[in-house]
Structure 1
Amino acid sequence: MKQAIVILHGMGEQIPMTTLNSFVQAVWTKDKTLVDAQKPDPNTGKTRSGNVSWAKPDDRNSSTELRRITTERDNAGNYTDFYEYYWAHMMQGTTWEHVSTWIRDLLLRNPTTQVPKRVFHAWVMLWIIALAVIVFTLWGLWPKAEAPRPWVAWVSALLGMAVSAFASAVLIKRFGDVARYVKALPPNVAKRHAIRQAGVDLLARLIDSKDYERIVVVAHSLGTIIAYDILAQLYTRYNTEGGVGPQPQRDALEKMIRDGMDAGYLDMDAYQAQQARALAEAQAQDAPWIVSDFVTMGSPLTHAEFMMAESHDDLRARQRDRLLPTCPPTLEYDGTTKMRHFTYSNERDRKPGDCRTPHHAALFAYTRWTNLYSDERAIVTGDLISGPLREAFGLKGDAGAISGIRDIGVLPALNADGGVAEGHRRPFFSHNDYWALDKGTETGSVPVPHHIAELRRALRLVE
């Protein structure tokens, strides 16, 4: 089998191939389970130091700065091609005006209805910082009866430089990407469209090439929101193709979702296994969709009601309207079958046994979603940007929300009750550590750090 892994980087002034090279090291080169260590290195014929890969130009990525990293064959007979979808160059030109507009939008919200509990403490901290900047600025502009003491002038100058550096290096160059992408204001619309369209085009070229049996989309930080949007747009191109006969695996998947909504619970292992069976069934009937997995790391999608909508109710309304796909997908009632489905019949004279077509927001009927997050405490430990996605993108039913997203707490590993697993501790600012081989409290005590093992498991390279 030949498969493709496409990774999207996060916010900030990223350098082409930097994310991809370090990611390949973590999930391919250093994974001793993928290739027999006794096989000689294909480059030297001598003892190998790791799994081998090569960087090749590939015009499907539409950039001479990027390369496709292709691997040797693994123990299961698979070849893997790694691609980076690089978008940072399309987000240049961010100004303080873009950022300040977004910050004002975040600050001027009703804290009881429009600020989720998980980020309330961060929202309060943002207010404190904003007020401190305002007070400091006004104090500096206020006329003085006499010249300030030299040490006061020096401290004021240093504080002014620190605020300026923070605004430039962090707010504009990093969070400026978030500010411009998540808000559909007129100055941002063209860039949002360009970023999404280029990603859709890349994945469409990979699908249409027929070179791959399977594609996995992996994303970090802001890249997870971009990847989610890209997949939602891409799926509408392919959801009506294929499907020419009975689909018992799809029927079983729909029944599993209906039963889960009635019970208020969905078994994750069973759901993802049934997704795979339904996708294989659809592909056997010539459906071209081959994006089998979506893996998110450090995702701000956990704050979707804060960043992508006006409130929790507004987020749910957008999901009901199928603007934002849920996992499992939104169901609709069919008057012919008297049941809820994520599919519909195209037949004029409808009957229960008709061949059915998935609706345009049924992406996560066939694509499994795994989310790695780092539990945060006191802002400085873990990853405030990340979190579980169950509540934000699960499917709301009468018995509560059910989720088909596999949320996995890493850095640190978490117990079933949400507590820190024995032998682990909360790291400081872990947002950029999801594929770092030298991170994790268990590093050195076990062959593979917990977060790396979970990432490799989510990719399913040897599935």
Structure 2
Amino acid sequence: MAGEKQAIVVVHGMGEQRPMGMMRRIVDTLWTTDETVLNAGDRHIGPDGNKSWIVPDLKTGSHDLQRITTPPAKDGKRTDFYEFYYADVLDDAKLRNLWRWLLRIIMVKPEYVADRMVWPWSALCFLIVLIGLVAFGVVLLGLGTIFELQWWNLDGGSARLNVWEISFLGILNLGLMVWLGRLIPKLRWILRWPAYAVITLLVYHSLFGIGGVEVRSFVVGGTVLMTILTGMFFLPYLGDVAGYLGAHPDTVRRRHDVRERGLGLLRALHEDPTYDRVVIVAHSLGSVVAYDILHLLWEELGPTNENPPSERVRQALYEHDRFVRNHQSRYWNSLTVDAYQAVQANIAKAIRLSGAVENKHGEKSRSYWKITDFITFGSPLSHAQFLIARGVENFEKLKEERLFPVAPPRSYNEDFGVLYTPDKLEFNEEKYAGMPIPQSSAEWALKAPRAFAHHGAVFSTVKWTNMFDEHHPLMFWQGDVLGGPVKGYSLFGRGIKEHKVHITYSKFGLDRLRLITHTRYWSNTAISGVADHIVKFRKAVGLVSSKK
């Protein structure tokens, strides 16, 4: 029976993820522990919660990845969970790629860094410079020991500042950079270089200006420890980020393989007639990967010139364009976003009711667009202006060029919105005798013989919900520093439903702990009941339809 099931595709984040690890936790949150998805007394409710089963399935292309399927919910629809797993593709990330990406981060123009990220970004810049200088100093110490070059302790007796005084100057400079830099972004460049000079002086004084071997041994030991930590943490985690976001000759192939694997899974789900709805749930780096794939798949399967839309879909796209024209404000409140998502849902419904169409070659397609929702947690897309693009102006240009789709989509041109036609010049009274000439630019697209959605209009149909836990402005390890907001005209659009959550949890005998909440979005951290962020997550996914 067509449309008897829906698919939830889970896209994991950075790091050495285990196959199906994140998906199991998502299933537990969305299905197993949700008491509202089944009627009371349902035979599929067990002592450990709602039942589900693991079924072999090769849509993922891997025997290590299987789908988790549920019995019919109270609305009669079954749900299959899939994981788009790509960690193995990025597992061979090289340390060179990591350092190249980190250096790109510290060389970005400081005025492009969002105010909420000034302190974490400054701390990262100083840490990279400190590690680099210490490593260089250790090399000099080694050369001096091998060749008996006693160049250290030459100014130790006459130095006017000791280590503690230099450290104080460094902390003072860092504080000035963060405080004054947030007020006047242009000053961040000026304040950075004195900070680097202080760090250089501190490293030099510690290694070569102090007598005795204790301090130098401590510095060498610290460098070794930082190297180990780099191998254990930075390379496995940030190495994935470097391997995907860094567009270099030795990373292009991995990026291609990651995207092709994701496209392969989504194509298989679209071709399966038992599914009529697909939801993508993406975390961290996975949200960037899924965003790229959505854009690519839309051109292939959406109602674009590749698959000309039916009259029903064209009408729904026309209503979308009319809604956007009537809401020109650069800020949309929650009520406007809700109304916009209702328009998006209407387009998705029109596509579903129209079913497969003939493509531009006149061949009947085996599938149609089925993705209705895109849900992101802790997304680094919040920092796209300097992580992906080269500043605010470049980011804005790439959105205008439709390389980066937004919600609502940017207009095709001055005449058309999402829906456009190449036939405007052909639409004349002689050719269409008796047909009234359209009076508005939007009606040209609606009534012309050929009309399509443009290739950057994926979020005309797909509802985007983003969740982030705002980190503490100074103690950035409290909360989620990697994620952030994506809603807004200067980011990815006004039409995104966004939830700023506040996640606390209990551990080590401590209550209301907020230490690094980046991986807590799908965990019910409430002492009793259901945490607010879990309620919002379940509502965004909508496993059970409100209408039968």
TM-score normalised over the length of structure 1: 0.88
Residue 118 (structure 2) pairs with residue 27 (structure 1)? no
CA offset digits 1:215-261 (Å, max 9, x no partner): 00110000000000011001111123252325433222111111222
Q: Residue 170 and residue 158 in structure 1: after superposition, are their counterparts in 2 closer, same or farther (change >3 A)?
A: same
Q: Does structure 1 conserve the Cα–Cα contact (< 8 Å) formed by 2:379 and 2:484? A: yes
Rounded to whole Å, the distance in 2 between the matches of 1:346 and 1:70 is: 44
Partner of 1:75: 74
Deviation at 1:394, TM superposition (A): 5.2
TM-score normalised over the length of structure 2: 0.75
Q: Does structure 1 conserve the Cα–Cα contact (< 8 Å) formed by 2:410 and 2:418? A: yes
Rounded to whole Å, the distance in 2 between the matches of 1:107 and 1:204 is: 39
Partner of 2:52: 53
Q: Residue 190 and residue 275 in structure 1: after superposition, are their counterparts in 2 closer, same or farther (change >3 A)?
A: same
- The farther-off stretch of 386-395 and 72-81 is 386-395
- The farther-off stretch of 124-133 and 204-213 is 124-133
Deviation at 1:154, TM superposition (A): 4.9
Partner of 2:412: 332
**Which of 130, 133, 141 does residue 131 from structure 2 map onto?**
133
Deviation at 1:411, TM superposition (A): 2.6
Structure 2 residue matching 1:218: 3-state secondary structure: strand
Rounded to whole Å, the distance in 2 between the matches of 1:198 and 1:221 is: 18
Residue 361 (structure 2) pairs with residue 278 (structure 1)? no
Rounded to whole Å, the distance in 2 between the matches of 1:187 and 1:297 is: 29
Partner of 1:191: 254
Q: Does structure 1 conserve the Cα–Cα contact (< 8 Å) formed by 2:409 and 2:418? A: yes
Structure 1 residue matching 2:59: 3-state secondary structure: helix
In the alignment, structure 1 segments of 5+ residues that lack a partner are 396-401, 414-423
The one-letter amino acid paired with 2:250 is P
Partner of 1:431: 518
The one-letter amino acid paired with 1:258 is R
**Which of 448, 456, 464 does residue 361 from structure 1 map onto?**
456
Rounded to whole Å, the distance in 2 between the matches of 1:242 and 1:280 is: 16
Q: Does structure 2 conserve the Cα–Cα contact (< 8 Å) formed by 1:102 and 1:179? A: yes
- The farther-off stretch of 272-281 and 116-125 is 116-125
Partner of 2:188: none
CA offset digits 1:340-380 (Å, max 9, x no partner): 31111254723532363101111000000000111111211
- The farther-off stretch of 151-160 and 60-69 is 151-160
Superposition RMSD in Å: 2.3
Q: Does structure 2 conserve the Cα–Cα contact (< 8 Å) formed by 1:369 and 1:406? A: yes
Structure 2 residue matching 1:72: 3-state secondary structure: coil
Identity value in percent: 30
**Which of 497, 506, 517 does residue 406 from structure 1 map onto?**
497
Rounded to whole Å, the distance in 2 between the matches of 1:317 and 1:455 is: 32
The one-letter amino acid paired with 2:221 is L
Rounded to whole Å, the distance in 1 between the matches of 2:133 and 2:421 is: 63
Residue 484 (structure 2) pairs with residue 381 (structure 1)? no
The one-letter amino acid paired with 1:118 is R
**Which of 299, 303, 307 does residue 236 from structure 1 map onto?**
299
Partner of 2:361: none
Residue 24 (structure 2) pairs with residue 9 (structure 1)? no
Rounded to whole Å, the distance in 2 between the matches of 1:393 and 1:343 is: 23
Partner of 2:167: none
Q: Does structure 2 conserve the Cα–Cα contact (< 8 Å) formed by 1:374 and 1:382? A: yes
1:49-448 matched pairs, under 5 angstroms: 49-112=48-111, 114-140=112-138, 141-142=140-141, 143=144, 144=150, 149=212, 151-152=214-215, 154-239=217-302, 240=304, 241-245=307-311, 247-261=314-328, 264-265=331-332, 267-286=336-355, 288-333=368-413, 335=415, 340-347=416-423, 349-350=426-427, 352=444, 353-354=447-448, 356-377=451-472, 378=474, 379-391=476-488, 403-412=494-503, 427-437=514-524, 439=525, 443-445=526-528, 447-448=529-530
Q: Residue 286 and residue 36 in structure 1: after superposition, are their counterparts in 2 closer, same or farther (change >3 A)?
A: closer
Rounded to whole Å, the distance in 2 between the matches of 1:347 and 1:8 is: 40
Deviation at 1:300, TM superposition (A): 0.2
Partner of 1:416: none
Partner of 2:430: none
Q: Does structure 2 conserve the Cα–Cα contact (< 8 Å) formed by 1:41 and 1:48? A: no
Q: Residue 160 and residue 292 in structure 1: after superposition, are their counterparts in 2 closer, same or farther (change >3 A)?
A: same
The one-letter amino acid paired with 2:418 is F
Q: Residue 393 and residue 192 in structure 1: after superposition, are their counterparts in 2 closer, same or farther (change >3 A)?
A: farther
